[in-house]
Amino acid sequence: MRTWFVLLVALLAACKTVPLRDPDPVKGAPGPDLTLLAIHRAMALEGFVEDEVSPGLLRAHLIRGDWSMTVDIEYAERVRVVYAGSKNLSYRVRHGQKYIHRGYNARARRLVEAIQREALLISAEVDPDAYLGLEPIGAPPPAPPPTDPAR
């Protein structure tokens, strides 16, 4: 009887695992600093915390109860989220294929969608001319410097 119970529990756990699929890369905001801002906003919205930072790479953790997931976020012109580790998400490799709890794929995809949304919002807020340090097209010419009345 106990053997059947263990087998049933193992079978049910296997039904919750799916092939691990990292989300497709998305376009970042205009410039690495603004892309990093978009990533930080998205991480906050989705409940991720930052662990390590290096130029062009973040490590982010999502911790919920007795499980957690860790992703690496590579960013430049595009942003890419890649599996880096997990706890209690049934991660395994079988015949060269990686499997994980189905919730990982959904949460990684939601994080990428949030990054993309924040990057678009930031892009809409940024005046491209101001970002490049140029005067906006159609802007009035700058005022002449004040004259010294003593002259």
pLDDT at residue 98 is higher than 90: yes
Q: Give percent above pLDDT 70 in the chain.
A: 77
Q: CA torsion angle for 80, 113, 48, 103 (degrees, to 10)? A: -100
* pLDDT for res 83: 98
**What is the pTM (predicted TM-score) of this model?**
0.74
Answer yes or no: are the C-beta atoms of 22 and 72 closer than 8 Å: no
Distance between CA atoms of 135 and 129, rounded to whole angstroms? 6
State the pLDDT at residue 129.
53
Q: Which helix (H) or strand (E) holds 101?
A: strand 97-101
CA distance 91 to 82: 14
Please report the pLDDT score of residue 124 as a whole number. Answer: 86
CB 32 within 8 A of CB 75: yes
Spatial distance between the Cα atoms of 148 and 108, rounded to a whole number of angstroms? 62
CATH architecture of 22-122: 2-Layer Sandwich (3.30)
Residue 45 — pLDDT band, cuts 50, 70, 90? Answer: very high
Residue-wise pLDDT for 99-132, tens only, equals: 999 999 999 999 999 999 999 999 887 655 554 5
Instruction: Determine the average pLDDT of the residues in 53-58.
Output: 90
- Taking the C-alpha atoms of residue 109 and residue 112, their distance in angstroms, rounded to an integer, is 5
**Pair 83, 107: CB distance under 8 Å:** no
Which residues contact residue 10 at a Cβ distance below 8 angstroms, ignoring those fewer than 6 apart? none
How confident is the model at residue 51, as a pLDDT? 84
Does 106 or 140 have the greater pLDDT score?
106
